[in-house]
Amino acid sequence: MATIVTRAGKGSALTHTEMDANFTNLNNDKLESGAVTTSGLTMATGKLLGRSTASTGAVEEITLGSGLTLSSGTLTASGGGAGTDLGYTASTRLLTSSTGTDVTLPLFTGTAPGLVNLSGGGTTNFLRADGSWAAPPSGGAGTDLGYTPSTQLLTSSTGTDVTLPLFSTTNTNAGLVPGNSNLGATYFLNADGSWAIPAGGGSGTVTSVAVSSSGSITVGGSPITSSGTITVNLNTANANSFTGQQTFKEIKETTFTLATSGTIALDPANGSIQSSVLTGNPTFTDSLEAGQTLVLHLDNGSSYTVIYPTTTWVGTTSSSTPPTLTANDVLVFWKFGTTLYGAYVGSYV
Protein backbone atom coordinates (compact mmCIF):
# COMPACT_ATOMS: atom_id res chain seq x y z
CA MET A 1 0.00 0.00 0.00
CA ALA A 2 1.35 3.49 -0.92
CA THR A 3 2.55 5.97 1.74
CA ILE A 4 0.91 9.40 2.09
CA VAL A 5 3.08 12.26 3.47
CA THR A 6 1.12 14.61 5.70
CA ARG A 7 2.06 18.11 6.99
CA ALA A 8 1.56 16.94 10.56
CA GLY A 9 3.81 14.00 9.97
CA LYS A 10 6.47 16.07 8.28
CA GLY A 11 6.29 18.98 10.67
CA SER A 12 6.47 21.60 7.92
CA ALA A 13 4.80 22.60 4.72
CA LEU A 14 4.87 20.07 1.88
CA THR A 15 6.76 20.78 -1.30
CA HIS A 16 5.16 20.64 -4.72
CA THR A 17 6.93 17.35 -5.35
CA GLU A 18 5.53 15.80 -2.16
CA MET A 19 2.05 16.97 -3.02
CA ASP A 20 2.25 15.42 -6.49
CA ALA A 21 3.55 12.15 -5.00
CA ASN A 22 0.60 11.94 -2.61
CA PHE A 23 -1.92 12.34 -5.46
CA THR A 24 -0.10 9.77 -7.54
CA ASN A 25 -0.16 7.23 -4.71
CA LEU A 26 -3.85 7.83 -4.01
CA ASN A 27 -4.63 7.37 -7.67
CA ASN A 28 -2.80 4.06 -7.76
CA ASP A 29 -4.46 2.67 -4.61
CA LYS A 30 -7.99 3.88 -5.28
CA LEU A 31 -10.91 1.32 -5.07
CA GLU A 32 -12.94 1.54 -8.18
CA SER A 33 -16.51 0.21 -8.70
CA GLY A 34 -16.75 -3.43 -9.84
CA ALA A 35 -15.22 -6.64 -8.55
CA VAL A 36 -12.99 -6.44 -5.52
CA THR A 37 -9.73 -8.33 -5.90
CA THR A 38 -7.19 -9.44 -3.34
CA SER A 39 -4.54 -7.29 -4.92
CA GLY A 40 -3.10 -5.03 -2.30
CA LEU A 41 -4.81 -6.74 0.68
CA THR A 42 -2.72 -8.32 3.42
CA MET A 43 -3.89 -10.49 6.39
CA ALA A 44 -2.69 -13.31 8.68
CA THR A 45 -2.48 -16.92 7.49
CA GLY A 46 -5.49 -19.17 8.19
CA LYS A 47 -7.97 -16.31 8.58
CA LEU A 48 -11.21 -15.41 6.82
CA LEU A 49 -12.68 -11.98 6.18
CA GLY A 50 -16.10 -11.27 7.54
CA ARG A 51 -17.80 -9.75 10.53
CA SER A 52 -18.72 -11.61 13.69
CA THR A 53 -19.79 -8.54 15.62
CA ALA A 54 -23.59 -8.24 15.71
CA SER A 55 -23.80 -4.85 13.97
CA THR A 56 -22.87 -3.18 10.71
CA GLY A 57 -19.24 -2.15 10.63
CA ALA A 58 -15.77 -2.74 9.28
CA VAL A 59 -14.62 -6.07 7.92
CA GLU A 60 -13.07 -8.35 10.58
CA GLU A 61 -10.67 -11.27 10.45
CA ILE A 62 -12.34 -14.56 11.50
CA THR A 63 -10.31 -17.40 13.03
CA LEU A 64 -10.96 -20.92 11.78
CA GLY A 65 -12.60 -23.27 14.34
CA SER A 66 -11.70 -26.84 15.27
CA GLY A 67 -12.04 -29.30 12.41
CA LEU A 68 -11.61 -26.60 9.68
CA THR A 69 -8.50 -26.09 7.57
CA LEU A 70 -7.74 -23.46 4.90
CA SER A 71 -5.20 -24.41 2.26
CA SER A 72 -4.60 -23.05 -1.27
CA GLY A 73 -7.82 -21.09 -1.11
CA THR A 74 -9.94 -24.17 -0.11
CA LEU A 75 -11.78 -24.46 3.21
CA THR A 76 -12.01 -28.11 4.35
CA ALA A 77 -14.01 -29.59 7.27
CA SER A 78 -12.61 -32.75 8.90
CA GLY A 79 -14.16 -35.15 11.43
CA GLY A 80 -17.78 -34.23 10.63
CA GLY A 81 -20.18 -37.19 10.21
CA ALA A 82 -17.96 -39.76 11.94
CA GLY A 83 -19.63 -41.69 14.84
CA THR A 84 -18.44 -42.16 18.38
CA ASP A 85 -17.61 -45.74 19.36
CA LEU A 86 -18.41 -46.73 22.93
CA GLY A 87 -16.92 -49.59 24.89
CA TYR A 88 -17.64 -51.10 28.29
CA THR A 89 -15.51 -53.13 30.71
CA ALA A 90 -17.77 -55.00 33.15
CA SER A 91 -15.08 -55.69 35.76
CA THR A 92 -14.29 -51.99 36.17
CA ARG A 93 -17.63 -50.48 34.98
CA LEU A 94 -15.56 -48.27 32.59
CA LEU A 95 -17.53 -46.77 29.69
CA THR A 96 -15.08 -45.60 26.99
CA SER A 97 -15.54 -43.13 24.11
CA SER A 98 -13.54 -43.09 20.87
CA THR A 99 -13.97 -39.33 20.53
CA GLY A 100 -14.05 -38.02 24.09
CA THR A 101 -13.63 -38.65 27.79
CA ASP A 102 -14.25 -42.05 29.39
CA VAL A 103 -16.42 -42.48 32.50
CA THR A 104 -16.77 -45.08 35.26
CA LEU A 105 -20.44 -45.92 35.97
CA PRO A 106 -21.39 -45.83 39.68
CA LEU A 107 -22.92 -48.67 41.75
CA PHE A 108 -26.48 -48.48 43.13
CA THR A 109 -26.67 -47.21 46.70
CA GLY A 110 -29.46 -46.28 49.02
CA THR A 111 -29.15 -42.63 47.99
CA ALA A 112 -28.24 -42.70 44.27
CA PRO A 113 -29.11 -44.76 41.19
CA GLY A 114 -26.47 -46.96 39.58
CA LEU A 115 -25.51 -50.46 38.51
CA VAL A 116 -26.42 -53.49 40.64
CA ASN A 117 -23.38 -54.98 42.34
CA LEU A 118 -22.47 -58.69 42.03
CA SER A 119 -24.93 -60.93 43.93
CA GLY A 120 -22.87 -64.09 44.24
CA GLY A 121 -25.69 -66.17 42.71
CA GLY A 122 -28.18 -68.43 44.43
CA THR A 123 -31.91 -68.08 45.15
CA THR A 124 -31.95 -67.01 48.82
CA ASN A 125 -30.49 -63.47 48.61
CA PHE A 126 -32.39 -60.39 47.44
CA LEU A 127 -31.30 -56.79 46.73
CA ARG A 128 -31.95 -54.62 49.76
CA ALA A 129 -32.78 -50.91 49.62
CA ASP A 130 -29.24 -50.07 50.82
CA GLY A 131 -27.71 -51.69 47.73
CA SER A 132 -26.51 -54.89 49.38
CA TRP A 133 -27.57 -58.50 48.76
CA ALA A 134 -29.06 -60.37 51.73
CA ALA A 135 -31.64 -63.02 52.64
CA PRO A 136 -34.97 -61.66 53.94
CA PRO A 137 -35.70 -62.27 57.65
CA SER A 138 -37.95 -65.25 56.75
CA GLY A 139 -35.39 -66.67 54.37
CA GLY A 140 -37.76 -66.23 51.43
CA ALA A 141 -39.82 -69.31 52.39
CA GLY A 142 -43.58 -69.36 53.04
CA THR A 143 -45.25 -69.50 56.44
CA ASP A 144 -46.62 -72.86 57.61
CA LEU A 145 -49.64 -72.73 59.92
CA GLY A 146 -50.72 -75.40 62.38
CA TYR A 147 -53.73 -75.82 64.65
CA THR A 148 -54.32 -77.84 67.85
CA PRO A 149 -58.09 -78.23 68.50
CA SER A 150 -57.73 -79.17 72.17
CA THR A 151 -55.98 -75.88 73.00
CA GLN A 152 -57.26 -73.71 70.10
CA LEU A 153 -53.58 -72.88 69.41
CA LEU A 154 -52.80 -71.55 65.92
CA THR A 155 -49.05 -71.86 65.27
CA SER A 156 -46.81 -70.05 62.76
CA SER A 157 -43.50 -71.36 61.43
CA THR A 158 -42.15 -67.83 60.98
CA GLY A 159 -43.72 -65.80 63.76
CA THR A 160 -45.75 -65.68 66.94
CA ASP A 161 -48.41 -68.29 67.74
CA VAL A 162 -51.91 -67.27 68.85
CA THR A 163 -54.71 -68.98 70.82
CA LEU A 164 -58.11 -68.50 69.17
CA PRO A 165 -60.91 -67.52 71.55
CA LEU A 166 -64.05 -69.57 72.21
CA PHE A 167 -67.52 -68.16 71.66
CA SER A 168 -69.10 -66.89 74.87
CA THR A 169 -71.34 -64.11 76.14
CA THR A 170 -68.32 -62.42 77.74
CA ASN A 171 -66.53 -62.22 74.40
CA THR A 172 -68.00 -59.47 72.23
CA ASN A 173 -66.08 -60.69 69.18
CA ALA A 174 -66.49 -63.85 67.10
CA GLY A 175 -65.09 -67.07 68.48
CA LEU A 176 -64.86 -70.81 68.01
CA VAL A 177 -67.83 -73.07 68.82
CA PRO A 178 -66.87 -75.01 71.98
CA GLY A 179 -66.75 -78.81 71.94
CA ASN A 180 -69.63 -80.78 73.51
CA SER A 181 -68.17 -84.25 74.18
CA ASN A 182 -70.57 -85.82 71.67
CA LEU A 183 -73.73 -84.92 73.58
CA GLY A 184 -75.85 -86.01 70.63
CA ALA A 185 -78.40 -84.54 68.26
CA THR A 186 -80.75 -83.28 70.99
CA TYR A 187 -78.36 -80.60 72.31
CA PHE A 188 -78.05 -77.12 70.84
CA LEU A 189 -75.70 -74.18 71.46
CA ASN A 190 -77.28 -71.51 73.64
CA ALA A 191 -76.57 -67.83 73.11
CA ASP A 192 -74.50 -67.91 76.32
CA GLY A 193 -72.06 -70.40 74.73
CA SER A 194 -73.30 -73.52 76.55
CA TRP A 195 -74.84 -76.70 75.17
CA ALA A 196 -78.36 -77.53 76.34
CA ILE A 197 -81.59 -79.29 75.36
CA PRO A 198 -84.13 -76.67 74.21
CA ALA A 199 -87.33 -76.40 76.25
CA GLY A 200 -90.07 -78.64 74.84
CA GLY A 201 -87.60 -80.71 72.82
CA GLY A 202 -85.17 -83.53 73.30
CA SER A 203 -85.77 -86.94 74.80
CA GLY A 204 -88.15 -88.09 77.51
CA THR A 205 -90.39 -90.93 78.65
CA VAL A 206 -93.99 -91.78 77.70
CA THR A 207 -96.67 -94.00 79.16
CA SER A 208 -98.26 -95.10 75.89
CA VAL A 209 -98.30 -93.67 72.36
CA ALA A 210 -100.27 -95.37 69.60
CA VAL A 211 -101.20 -94.70 65.98
CA SER A 212 -104.48 -95.80 64.48
CA SER A 213 -105.20 -95.91 60.75
CA SER A 214 -107.74 -96.81 58.13
CA GLY A 215 -107.10 -99.62 55.70
CA SER A 216 -105.09 -97.28 53.45
CA ILE A 217 -101.98 -97.47 55.61
CA THR A 218 -100.25 -100.12 57.70
CA VAL A 219 -98.88 -99.33 61.18
CA GLY A 220 -96.05 -101.17 62.89
CA GLY A 221 -94.60 -100.85 66.41
CA SER A 222 -97.74 -99.32 67.92
CA PRO A 223 -98.29 -98.65 70.75
CA ILE A 224 -95.04 -97.44 72.35
CA THR A 225 -95.12 -97.76 76.14
CA SER A 226 -91.53 -96.81 76.96
CA SER A 227 -89.41 -96.29 73.84
CA GLY A 228 -89.39 -97.47 70.26
CA THR A 229 -90.29 -96.52 66.68
CA ILE A 230 -93.66 -96.47 64.97
CA THR A 231 -93.61 -97.23 61.23
CA VAL A 232 -96.36 -96.11 58.84
CA ASN A 233 -96.60 -97.32 55.20
CA LEU A 234 -99.13 -97.22 52.41
CA ASN A 235 -101.21 -100.41 52.29
CA THR A 236 -100.77 -101.46 48.66
CA ALA A 237 -102.71 -104.72 49.17
CA ASN A 238 -106.00 -102.90 49.78
CA ALA A 239 -108.01 -100.76 47.40
CA ASN A 240 -107.26 -97.12 48.24
CA SER A 241 -109.47 -94.18 47.41
CA PHE A 242 -107.99 -90.82 46.43
CA THR A 243 -110.53 -88.00 46.57
CA GLY A 244 -108.16 -85.32 45.28
CA GLN A 245 -106.27 -84.93 42.02
CA GLN A 246 -103.20 -87.19 41.81
CA THR A 247 -100.21 -86.84 39.52
CA PHE A 248 -98.22 -89.95 38.60
CA LYS A 249 -95.08 -89.89 36.51
CA GLU A 250 -95.59 -93.47 35.30
CA ILE A 251 -98.32 -96.13 35.68
CA LYS A 252 -97.61 -99.82 35.11
CA GLU A 253 -100.74 -101.95 34.62
CA THR A 254 -100.89 -105.65 35.52
CA THR A 255 -101.36 -108.21 32.73
CA PHE A 256 -103.17 -111.55 33.24
CA THR A 257 -103.56 -114.70 31.12
CA LEU A 258 -107.08 -116.14 31.13
CA ALA A 259 -108.28 -119.69 30.60
CA THR A 260 -108.69 -120.89 27.00
CA SER A 261 -112.26 -122.27 27.12
CA GLY A 262 -115.28 -122.72 29.38
CA THR A 263 -116.50 -120.13 31.88
CA ILE A 264 -114.04 -117.24 32.14
CA ALA A 265 -114.57 -114.28 34.52
CA LEU A 266 -113.62 -110.81 33.28
CA ASP A 267 -112.26 -109.50 36.62
CA PRO A 268 -109.97 -106.40 36.71
CA ALA A 269 -108.69 -107.58 40.10
CA ASN A 270 -106.50 -110.02 38.15
CA GLY A 271 -105.09 -107.24 35.96
CA SER A 272 -106.42 -104.49 33.72
CA ILE A 273 -104.91 -106.05 30.55
CA GLN A 274 -105.92 -109.69 29.98
CA SER A 275 -105.49 -112.23 27.18
CA SER A 276 -106.84 -115.62 26.10
CA VAL A 277 -105.74 -117.97 23.32
CA LEU A 278 -108.93 -119.94 22.73
CA THR A 279 -108.90 -123.69 22.32
CA GLY A 280 -112.68 -124.09 22.80
CA ASN A 281 -115.93 -122.16 23.14
CA PRO A 282 -115.65 -119.61 26.01
CA THR A 283 -118.39 -118.07 28.16
CA PHE A 284 -117.23 -114.73 29.63
CA THR A 285 -118.86 -113.44 32.84
CA ASP A 286 -118.95 -109.87 34.22
CA SER A 287 -116.90 -109.18 37.38
CA LEU A 288 -116.30 -105.43 36.78
CA GLU A 289 -117.31 -102.76 39.26
CA ALA A 290 -118.54 -99.30 38.28
CA GLY A 291 -115.61 -97.22 37.07
CA GLN A 292 -113.39 -100.18 36.12
CA THR A 293 -111.94 -100.86 32.65
CA LEU A 294 -110.49 -104.04 31.15
CA VAL A 295 -108.62 -104.62 27.86
CA LEU A 296 -109.04 -108.13 26.35
CA HIS A 297 -106.69 -109.66 23.76
CA LEU A 298 -108.53 -112.61 22.17
CA ASP A 299 -106.83 -115.07 19.82
CA ASN A 300 -108.65 -117.63 17.62
CA GLY A 301 -112.00 -115.90 18.25
CA SER A 302 -113.26 -116.57 14.74
CA SER A 303 -112.79 -120.34 15.23
CA TYR A 304 -115.14 -120.67 18.23
CA THR A 305 -118.50 -119.46 19.52
CA VAL A 306 -117.82 -116.66 22.00
CA ILE A 307 -120.51 -115.90 24.57
CA TYR A 308 -120.30 -112.46 26.31
CA PRO A 309 -122.06 -111.19 29.44
CA THR A 310 -124.88 -108.71 28.94
CA THR A 311 -123.04 -105.89 27.15
CA THR A 312 -124.02 -102.64 25.48
CA TRP A 313 -121.80 -102.56 22.41
CA VAL A 314 -120.40 -99.28 21.06
CA GLY A 315 -119.53 -98.89 17.38
CA THR A 316 -121.37 -101.97 16.08
CA THR A 317 -124.51 -102.16 13.95
CA SER A 318 -126.60 -102.62 17.09
CA SER A 319 -125.87 -102.08 20.78
CA SER A 320 -126.89 -105.69 21.37
CA THR A 321 -124.86 -107.13 18.50
CA PRO A 322 -121.30 -108.16 19.34
CA PRO A 323 -118.52 -107.49 16.82
CA THR A 324 -117.44 -110.05 14.23
CA LEU A 325 -114.15 -111.55 15.30
CA THR A 326 -111.11 -112.43 13.22
CA ALA A 327 -108.12 -114.53 14.13
CA ASN A 328 -106.71 -112.04 16.65
CA ASP A 329 -108.76 -109.18 18.13
CA VAL A 330 -108.69 -106.53 20.88
CA LEU A 331 -111.81 -105.53 22.83
CA VAL A 332 -112.31 -103.04 25.67
CA PHE A 333 -114.92 -103.41 28.47
CA TRP A 334 -115.87 -100.78 31.04
CA LYS A 335 -118.70 -100.37 33.53
CA PHE A 336 -120.66 -97.17 34.10
CA GLY A 337 -123.17 -97.55 36.90
CA THR A 338 -124.58 -101.04 36.45
CA THR A 339 -124.17 -101.11 32.67
CA LEU A 340 -121.28 -103.00 31.10
CA TYR A 341 -120.09 -101.42 27.84
CA GLY A 342 -117.91 -103.01 25.19
CA ALA A 343 -116.07 -101.76 22.08
CA TYR A 344 -114.12 -103.46 19.32
CA VAL A 345 -110.68 -101.87 18.97
CA GLY A 346 -109.39 -103.85 15.99
CA SER A 347 -107.50 -106.89 14.84
CA TYR A 348 -103.80 -107.62 14.89
CA VAL A 349 -101.46 -110.06 13.21
Would you kindly state where each structural domain of the chain is located, as residue ranges? 255-347
Residue 303, φ and ψ in degrees, nearest 5: -95, -10
Write down the pLDDT at residue 144: 87
> What are 48's strand-pairing partners?
62
> What is 57-98 written as a DSSP string?
-S-EEEE--TTEEEETTEEEE-STT----EEEETTTTEEEES
Q: What is the pLDDT of residue 345?
A: 96
To the nearest whole number, what is the mean pLDDT of the chain? 84
- Least reliable range by pLDDT among 2-6, 235-239, 259-263, 314-318: 235-239
- Find the range with the poorest average confidence among 25-29, 199-203, 241-245, 261-265: 199-203
The residues, ordered by sequence, that sit 6+ positions from 260 with a Cβ below 8 Å of its Cβ are 276, 277, 278, 279, 280, 282
Dihedrals φ, ψ of 142, to 5°?
-75, 175
326 vs 188, more confident? 326
- Report residue 203's pLDDT band, with 50, 70 and 90 as the boundaries: low
Please determine, for residue 167, whether its predicted confidence score (pLDDT) is greater than 60. yes
Tens digits of per-residue pLDDT, 274-300? 999 999 999 999 999 999 999 999 999
What is the pTM (predicted TM-score) of this model?
A: 0.39
Residue 303 CA to residue 281 CA, distance in Å, equals: 9
In whole angstroms, how far apart are CA 290 and each of 6, 265, 270, 307, 343? 168, 16, 16, 22, 17
Residue 39's pLDDT band (cuts 50, 70, 90): low
Model confidence band, residue 183 (pLDDT cutoffs 50, 70, 90): confident
**Interval 100-129: pLDDT, tens:** 899 998 988 878 888 888 888 888 888 888
201-204 LR contacts (CB < 8 Å, sep 24+): none
